Amino acid sequence: MKKKTWVLVPVMALAVAAAAHAQQWTMSLGANYRSFDDIDMHQLQFANPHNQYDEYVNGALLYSGAGAVIGVVVESELNQFDPPGFQAGEGDDAAENIVNLDGIAFRGDTEGDSGGGVVVEAIRPLARETSVPMSLVLSLTTASLSTCSLQPGVVLSDAYQINDSVFAGIWTEPSPLATLGAPDSGQYIGPPGQVQASGAGTASTYGSLDYDIDMDALTLGAGVSGKFCIGSLNVLVGAGPTLTIADIDVEADEVVRWNADDSLVYSRRHSDSSTQVRLGAYANIGLQIAITERLGVAAEYRYDCAVKDVTTGLADVDLSGGSGQIKVTYSF
């Protein structure tokens, strides 16, 4: 996970501290825990990297230049034929072989998670007198999201019938077109019409996607806060616009295995990352207790909303969500 947005944190914290000391502001420093309720994982069609012809994960159809089916590649003669193994025709007597080819797709899903960070604020009373004391609040909050999700793929299997005779086609094993290192593979090539679709097949594989989503979000805010005093207890209510810098990295491991023994058919990794800037707004409500004339503690609930999700080719993260904050305040 890239951490370049975090370089801004100590720099801006020092700048806020310097401004607070120079202008007689109040400093606030604490912990932030933020929820991300909508993490959308995109639909994905599984694709064997060794299959350059179609979207089957355990084999492929072969086509002539005119687009006619002239053959089929299977990853496992034992697992995909019904009954197991290719049966060659004898003389003019054709042998009917049923082979099953699987397609796997992930239909998409939405989950939620949360992550912690820090909050730094500089608060300055506004000069204008009002019945409710108002303050300008400059804030910097961070939150780190790190979530994993194992998602199953949906398997749809197609059956094909190979009508083989000694004069019709050629069965070769292992197949040079199958996954490297698949000794049980094979391929059949014959004239058009020897390989025909025969309806739904019996699945011989299953697949999964293992997602790993990491995101660092740094949010800058400039808002106004009102303070309602009840003895030493202050009720704080505020709102304002925000600008969020989000650094996101998504990986998804695509894995397909045989049903029979859980051995691996193939695996591949998808990845995407980017740094994005999003505008938004926040509103918060909280309680502050004065410990001394200058020192206090505060607890707040804050809700952030963003005009647009942080997006990648594999997953999107909605920045809108609530957060809890516990802070120590000090007035210079």
Predicted structure pTM score: 0.84
In the DSSP assignment, the letter for residue 93 is B
Q: Residue 60, CB half-sphere, CA atoms under 13 Å: how many?
A: 16
Q: What is the pLDDT of residues 219-236, one digit of tens each?
A: 999 999 998 888 778 899
What's the rounded Cα separation, in Å, for the pair 42 and 186? 34
Q: What is the pLDDT of residues 237-262, one digit of tens each?
A: 999 999 999 999 999 999 999 999 99
E-strand spans in the chain?
26-41, 44-45, 59-63, 69-74, 81-82, 95-106, 109-125, 134-152, 154-164, 170-172, 186-189, 195-200, 205-230, 233-258, 264-290, 295-306, 310-311, 315-317, 321-331
Question: pLDDT band for position 50 (50/70/90)?
Answer: confident
Do residues 71 and 195 touch, judged by C-beta distance below 8 A?
yes
Do residues 114 and 54 touch, judged by C-beta distance below 8 A?
no
Question: Looking at domain 4-43+108-152+208-331, which CATH architecture does it have?
Answer: Beta Barrel (2.40)
User: Where in the chain do CATH 2.40.160.20 domains reside?
Assistant: 4-43+108-152+208-331
Q: What is the pLDDT of residues 71-116, one digit of tens each?
A: 999 999 999 998 888 887 666 666 788 999 999 999 999 999 999 9
Do residues 329 and 295 touch, judged by C-beta distance below 8 A?
yes
Angle at 173 between CA 171 and CA 178, to 5 degrees: 105
